[in-house]
Amino acid sequence: MVWGVLVVAVATAILFSSFFTETWAREAAQRAEAPDLPSHTYRSLRARQRHMQAVTRWLRVTTVLYLLIGLFADWLCLTLIR
């Protein structure tokens, strides 16, 4: 049971951090929409947006996998203890 609580706590922290990266990606996209940007700045901001979106997806996939592995480990421990 302690394992399950730790898994949920860590998964929640990982998921919470993905909201920050999503916000940073959105901010980069908004700044890239400014009409008077040089082309290199525009490309840089779009690259940052794509990178932050990729990090966000990775964090969310990691959260789901971590929860599944944690739940399986918790179930396995409960099964072996009985």
Give the pLDDT confidence of 21-71 residue by residue, as tens digits. Answer: 999 999 999 999 988 889 999 999 999 999 999 999 999 999 999 888 888
The predicted pLDDT at position 30 comes to 94
CA distance 74 to 10: 15
Q: Indicate the helix (H) or strand (E) that contains 34.
A: none
CA distance 2 to 13: 17
- pTM of the predicted structure, to 2 decimals: 0.79
For residue 1, what pLDDT band results from cuts at 50, 70 and 90?
Answer: low
Q: 16 or 81: whose pLDDT is higher?
A: 16
Residue among 13, 2, 1 nearest 66 (CA): 13
